[in-house]
Structure 1
């Protein structure tokens, strides 16, 4: 099984490497690691069968809900391996390390779709935030930015925040105050994919407060939307999940 390694302070003396799925609760240690464990959930296809990493089409925006029934996430098999051990900083100044993608090519990544600027997110009616594939153009990338005429970025069309998925959704431009929260994945020897936790500062609580009418319409209410996902998370393409994909 391919796992992400984290550092955990033990008794204030030393550190040990632990797998994310073995961590319980919140890890907010002296080494700057910002990680919250949730239920270990297997990603499945639309028919409920285990989703295999080798089945993912590159640069297709897939969607699954995690860690809550009403919080959508994006899953992407990037065209190239990601960078490793990227240092990121949350809005309140906490630093953490994003270890990189998983899979044989280390190119599979997952992020919460909730934009930390004003909580734009992937929903079932219309979606302003999504991955822009190679060669795609966006108003969010100016000529002075490395993503100009290149694509391979996540763009929030609401206010043109741009994130680099190869670097843990690091902010490249726009008003976003911090990276998208990363969904930590495990890739097993049988090629299955599992979500095990969230790395970085999330916006889940603000999201639930802000979108009560939407949660009632799409998930039957805030209480149902806040239920933790258990065992399995169905994964579909963005085009299958949402009615209208809006890009700028």
Structure 2
């Protein structure tokens, strides 16, 4: 199985130990500043429950799956080109961490929290103001496309570099969902890298959590085993992009 976003932590006697994130729980601050939170391991599946293969993902299409909680939407994107590697990022609190790269044979597959780091804009079954904008589609948010844009306030994120902020009001990258691609080409979500906005989201959208998920308790349930994944055009009735 392909392993990405491994952490290195300092152990007794100054020995460096490689830690597989899918085997640990809790928040780790590694010696080099990388921030990782492990969650339940979940396979990326389609609407019928069938595993989605990495090689079957369409290029430059925004897919949505809820992870790590039942109500927290994430974006899955197969980029047209290989991502950058070993990108150093910084949270709004000043914590540095390292995003390793995309996954898959060509390092083109990435996943990020779809909750905007600025004012928590996110996809709902009714509408979405946040999405990946293909390279051939212009956007008001930045000088070039092939990026993630939140059209609420035109925050722009670099999908090929750990969702680094390119422009707009956002003060930190989108949290990255850590993926693994198995030998059989299936895709698994195993954790979250970076500073997330999950608790702020839960506090700000209680009526929405009740409307779509039955209430806060259900909305905060951890996703495990599998995560249903659909195109954004199927997830939201209306998609707004500037």
Instruction: Provide TM-score, normalisation by structure 2.
Output: 0.97
Unpaired segments ≥5 residues, structure 1: 142-147
Secondary structure of 1:209's aligned partner: helix
Work out whether 1:183 is the aligned partner of 2:184: no
**Structure 1 residue 11: Cα displacement:** 2.8
Matches within 5 A, 1:76-155: 76-141=77-142, 148=143, 150-155=144-149
- Secondary structure of residue in 2 paired with 1:21: helix
Superposed CA offset, 1:88-116 (max 9, x none)? 00110010000000001110000000111
TM-superposed deviation, 1:164: 0.3
Q: Tell me how large the CA RMSD over aligned residues is.
A: 0.9
Question: C-alpha distance in 2, partners of 1:243/1:45?
Answer: 18
Tell me the SS of whatever aligns to 2:128. Answer: coil
Please name the residue that 2:62 is paired with: 61
What do residues 140-188 of structure 1 show as CA deviations (whole Å, max 9, x unaligned)?
Answer: 11xxxxxx2x310000001100000100000000110000000000000
Could you tell me which residue of structure 2 aligns to residue 144 of structure 1? Answer: none
TM-score by length of 1: 0.95
The offset of 1:3, in angstroms, is: 0.5
CA distance in 1, matches of 2:91, 2:13: 24
Describe the SS at the equivalent of 1:236. strand
User: Does residue 1:3 correspond to 2:3, yes or no?
Assistant: yes
Residue aligned with 1:7, SS: strand
Where does structure 1 differ by over 2 angstroms across 4 or more consecutive aligned residues?
none
**DSSP 3-state at the match of 1:167:** coil
Kindly indicate whether the alpha-carbon contact (under 8 Å) linking 2:51 and 2:186 is maintained by their aligned counterparts in 1.
Answer: yes
| Structure 2 counterpart of 1:199, from 175, 193, 196 | 193
Segments of 5+ residues of structure 2 without an aligned counterpart are: none
CA distance in 2, matches of 1:16, 1:236: 37
State the shift of 1:131 in Å. 0.3
Following superposition of structure 1 onto structure 2, how do residues 32-71 of structure 1 map, counting pairs within 5 Å?
A: 32-71=33-72
